Amino acid sequence: MKKMGKLKKATIIKSFLLLLLAAILFASSIALTAPAFASVQEETEIENSDPDTDTGQDTEQDTSTNPTDTDDPASSQFDSIAKAAILMEASTGKVLYEKNADEALPPASITKIMTLLLGFEALERGDASWDDMVTISERAWKEEGSIMFLEVDTQVRLEDIMTGISVVSANDGCIALAEHLNGSVEAFVREMNKRAQELGLSNTQYQNPNGLPAQGHYMSARDIATLARELIISHPKILEIESITEFTFNEIKQLNRNPLLGIYPGADGLKTGWTEEAGYCLVGTAKQNGMRLISVVLKTNDEDERLAASRELLDYGYQNFELSEVVKAGDDMGQGEVKNGKELTVPLKADETIKIVIQRDRKEEIKVNLSMDEEMIQAPVESDKKVGKADFLLDGELLASTPISTAQDVEKAGFFEIIWRAIITFFRSLFQVSTGE
Domains of the chain listed by start with CATH number? 29-48+328-434 (2.60.410.10), 79-320 (3.40.710.10)
CA distances from residue 186 to 68, 243, 348 in whole angstroms, order as listed: 57, 30, 56
User: What is d(CA 123, CA 309) in angstroms, rounded to the nearest whole number?
Assistant: 34
Query: pLDDT by residue (tens digit) across 225-243?
Result: 999 999 999 999 999 999 9
Give pLDDT, residue 78: 84
Among 28, 146, 169, 220, the one annotated catalytic: 169
109 is a catalytic site residue: yes
Q: CB 150: neighbour CB atoms within 10 A?
A: 24
Among 28, 49, 109, 295, the one annotated catalytic: 109
Give pLDDT, residue 121: 98
Among 83, 99, 112, 299, the one annotated catalytic: 112
The mean pLDDT of the chain is 84
Query: pLDDT by residue (tens digit) across 61-73?
Result: 333 333 323 344 4
User: What is the pTM (predicted TM-score) of this model?
Assistant: 0.77
Residue 405 neighbours by CB under 8 Å, 6+ apart = 348, 349, 351, 384, 385, 386, 387
169 is a catalytic site residue: yes
220 is a catalytic site residue: no
Mean pLDDT within 386-415: 87
Work out the burial of residue 210: count CB atoms within 10 Å of its CB; fewer than 13 is exposed, 13-18 middle, 19 or more buried. buried
152: three-class secondary structure by DSSP? coil
Helices (H), 290-393: 303-320
User: What is d(CA 394, CA 6) in angstroms, rounded to the nearest whole number?
Assistant: 73
250: three-class secondary structure by DSSP? coil
Give pLDDT, residue 436: 54
Give pLDDT, residue 23: 56
User: What is d(CA 403, CA 390) in angstroms, rounded to the nearest whole number?
Assistant: 6
Mean pLDDT within 24-32: 49
